[in-house]
A and B are shown apart, each in its own frame.
Chain A
Amino acid sequence: MEKNNPKGFLYLLPAFLFLGFFLVYPLIDVFVYSFQENYNFASQTYTGVGLYNYAYVLHDPYFLQALKNTFLLVLITVPLSTGLALLISLCLSSIQKLRELFQTIFFLPYVTNTLAVGLVFMILFRKTAYSDGFVNLILNALGFASVDFLSGPYWAKMLVLCLYTVWIVMPFKILILTSALASVDQTYRNAARVDGASKGRIFWRITLPMISPSLFYLVITGFIGAFKAYSDAVALFGTDLNAAGMNTIVGYVYDMLYGNAGGYPSYASAAAILLFAIVLTITCINLLVSKKHVHYV
């Protein structure tokens, strides 16, 4: 093999160009924007350098609402979806027949268009003058009163958003956990069974520690994904998320950039950097916690 083949750079050139223009340069620039005060989009001028953009964002009631919504969404959906996925994967791994069929069905939400299927959720939950919608029909049958899920009380809107988010993220989690469970060495379980360990004990003492790296991976990606929630909310509540009171941090960033309230890349940059400071902190905490509880074989 030639030791020094400058043609290598030629092969890398397209990747360099694309990544440089659309990934590296923007990453640097977003920090620059976030410190430029009173940046004018049309004339590209600014009046000063400082922390005003951050102060503005942190005092903006829309941002605080988005922060609250996002944190609630994360705290509810990550444990719920991970736990549910674990339960379903355990069930999947203990059957032989029909397993592929169930796996195929469970994966379907992954390949659907979030915006399109969100509309189906919207009509299932929606209460209009003409009809209370399908979900309310079930609630009525169970003896509860109808709830206006999409333009009613805050908890109802949050509930729908959480349910849709869980529905969307489940396929990935089930897939990862099922393959993790499949790779658990059966010798340990058989040995434990010979020794008379109960099913529960085998799960807590053998299966769970063996799949803990995958579980932990899902918790981390789950946190990161849920913090970036946006299009699920748009699908359910429309593009004007601030009016619905259901905006997320990412939604706030895009609204600042474009749309009715848009044209402020500086505020958008400051909000985006704040979001990633939060995500980075949470991920670091996760990593610290995992050192104690995750077993890498």
Chain B
Amino acid sequence: MYRFLLLGPAFLGWIAVTLQAGLRAGFLLLLGLGFGAALSASRFGFTTGWRNLIVRKDPWGMIGQMIMMAICAVLSFPLLANFGHEIAGAVAPITWGLVIGAVLFGFAMQLADGCGSGTLYKAGASSPTSWVVLPAFIAGSFVGASHQHAWESLGGPLQAIGLQQEAAPIDLITASGMPIALTLTLLGCAAVAAASYLYAKRSTTQTGHQIPAVPSRWVWGAVVIAVLYAIHLVVAGQPWGIVYGLGLWGAKFVTALGADLSADTFWGVAPHIERISEPVLWDVTSVTNIGLLYGALIANRWNTDAITRRSWPSATQLLISIFAGCLMGYSARLAYGCNVGAYLGGVASGSIHGWVWFAFAFLGSIGGVAARMKARIE
């Protein structure tokens, strides 16, 4: 009975958002609820998937992510190629900020035990650690966005070796056409999935173990999230994102306290300055984030195994989580997003920066897992 009562606020929230912010915002809230429910019910975690591969030699999380990427690309590329005047992809330049930000984000997400989407859905699903990480993430995102232009002025690695005159996006759909871009992206997903499986197979064979059976949650979670991603693209006209909304919440907070951001190189220009002065429910990313938080709570009450840790962490772990949250927020802005906005959004938009983000964030995660073990974080 208690679980069904949770549907009431979701319904009322949808009505309120639709009346106050319009049909599109209402649809986005529903999509956010869907994302949160799917992430929480399937425990579809980018952080856990990578850690499982690094520590337990379990490849299924990574393979699940690649299935999701591939479905997202199949659904998104035709929309991006044919309706570019209405639907834009997540396309960003290859900058030093992207490289450094991705490494730091990958490192911090292992310490915080949650990436962008993971922190949100775990906070929604009542994880006290994520309640602490979320405000730190918001603060980091706000400051990171403010510094983004300074990082961009450093240029990028392709510029440094003479392959680009200035750090610029590489959009496969524009550069090579939709069919070739889709083929290359699917091949990339297949290569990562195969490499993960072969690495796990070799590692487990050496230790006399076997690769665990495929948990179905990675498969159905990937399919549901990919379908929601494509619907979000149709409704919002832009890919699903998380970090922009969190930074915006920070900007709104400091503005409410009296700060003047009109001279800020990021928050002081369009469209961000308008977003600060408008209700939060009008912002695409914010309204999806709010839905995600509540969707995770609903799904969590149907699946009591979803969140294993419901007690407050130790003081040391709290401090580590706050540090990791700040670092994730800051680095996500340098790297043009988190695992959702940059990694999923970039790859599913045919932008090379998504693959660069993945490579360097995974590198950072290897360090993060080691640091996590040293700090004895459970």
A joins B in a complex: no
Chain B interface (Cβ < 8 Å from any Cβ of A): none
